[in-house]
Amino acid sequence: MRRYIEIYSIMLRNSLIRELSFKANFLLWMVVEILWFCGQIVFFSIIFANVDRIGDWTKWRSCCLSARTK
Amino acid sequence: MIAQLFQAFFFVNVANIPELVRTGKLDSLLVLPIDSQFAVSTKQFSLDSIVNAGLGGVVVCVALSRLNVVPDLTSILLYLVALGFGIAVHYSIMLALAAVSFWIVRAQGLVYGYFNFLNIARYPDAIFPWLFRLIFGWIIPVVIIANIPARLLIKSLGQPWWLMLHLVTGLEYCFPPVTRLLEICPQPLFQR
């Protein structure tokens, strides 16, 4: 078990080093994902600007769901 | 959060399995003196996704404050457990799809197709017709993996223990291969 944890942590460290060797790309991907997520919130905002609820889901409940899935 | 955490820890690896099969590089992983499933599933990480999962957590907190909901400790614990179950469901389905590459070699279409299919999970289950909910709530439990944890936090949307039972049942009976990794600490995986 301990051996596997060590292997796992080594792989994690290697991944971090590999990702950070292209820092700009690493940061850009985060920005892209954040923007995509903002798009989701806007999508729900547009829907709930026209209806109060979908079934028992209100706007913020749906946002909670969307954030959970994301 | 589920999709981002899954992406951070498993997606790159599982999506790469068909390519490993096609190029024959899987053989070099199979001969390593560690469990093959562990080696195949944990080789790489997509660490930027962890930050985005944190963003998802922030939005959950904002949404809860707007709803004036203060979850108790049990709800938070159940939520975290459900989060783990959600990742496990994704992992199991995707691993099963990637395994098809042993027959058809290039199975990226299946893997990426499923990843896009995950988008249905972020919509409230109430919008789907009953047959759709039956199939994707019990047989391929994609819809429940986000809906149930959200319902767990927002208590008025359901009974927590019943919701957890649904989640556990969906995971256990649909995807026994995953339980191999879910039984993560004990026997089969870590004994070698």
- Comparing B112-121, B164-173, B180-189, the range with the smallest average pLDDT is B180-189
Q: Any chain A CB within 8 A of the CB of B49? A: yes
Please give, rounded to a whole number of angstroms, the shortest distance from the CA of A44 to a CA of chain B.
10
How many residue contacts between A and B have a Cβ separation below 8 Å? 123
Is the predicted pLDDT of residue B185 greater than 60, yes or no? no
Query: Which chain A residue is nearest to residue B57, measuring alpha carbons?
Result: A67
Q: Any chain A CB within 8 A of the CB of B59? A: yes
Query: In chain A, positions 19-58, which contact chain B (CB-CB < 8 Å)?
Result: 19, 26-27, 29-30, 33-34, 37, 40-41, 54-58
Please give, rounded to a whole number of angstroms, the shortest distance from the CA of A53 to a CA of chain B.
10
Average pLDDT in the B28-54 region? Answer: 84
**B67: helix, coil or strand?**
coil
Average pLDDT in the B94-101 region? Answer: 86
User: pTM of the full predicted structure?
Assistant: 0.79
Query: Which chain B residue is nearest to residue A9, measuring alpha carbons?
Result: B42
Average pLDDT in the B116-122 region? Answer: 78
Residue environment code for B53-69, b if the CB has 16+ CB neighbours within 10 A, otherwise e: bebbbebbeebbeebeb
DSSP class of residue B42 equals S
What's residue B173's pLDDT? 57
Tell me whether residues A58 and B122 touch, CB distance under 8 A. no
**A21: helix, coil or strand?**
coil
Question: Where does the pLDDT of residue B177 fall: very low under 50, low under 70, confident under 90, or very high at 90 and above?
Answer: low
Question: Where does the pLDDT of residue B190 fall: very low under 50, low under 70, confident under 90, or very high at 90 and above?
Answer: very low
What is the per-residue pLDDT across B56-92, written as a single tens digit (0 to 9) for each? 888 888 888 888 888 888 888 888 888 888 888 888 8
Q: Which residue, among B59, B60, B122, has the nearest Cα to B90 in the 3D structure?
A: B122
Q: Any chain A CB within 8 A of the CB of B163? A: no
What is the per-residue pLDDT across A18-27, written as a single tens digit (0 to 9) for each? 888 888 888 8
Is the predicted pLDDT of residue A45 greater than 80, yes or no? yes
Tell me whether residues A11 and B63 touch, CB distance under 8 A. no
Alpha helices in chain B (DSSP H): 1-6, 12-23, 26-30, 36-41, 48-66, 73-99, 101-104, 108-117, 130-134, 144-153, 160-174, 176-182, 187-190
What is the dihedral sign for C-alpha A32, A38, A44, A47?
A: negative
Question: What is chain B's mean pLDDT, rounded?
Answer: 79
Percentage of chain B exceeding pLDDT 90:
1
Q: Any chain A CB within 8 A of the CB of B80? A: no
Question: Where does the pLDDT of residue B146 fall: very low under 50, low under 70, confident under 90, or very high at 90 and above?
Answer: confident
Query: Which chain B residue is nearest to residue A1, measuring alpha carbons?
Result: B190
What's residue B75's pLDDT? 81
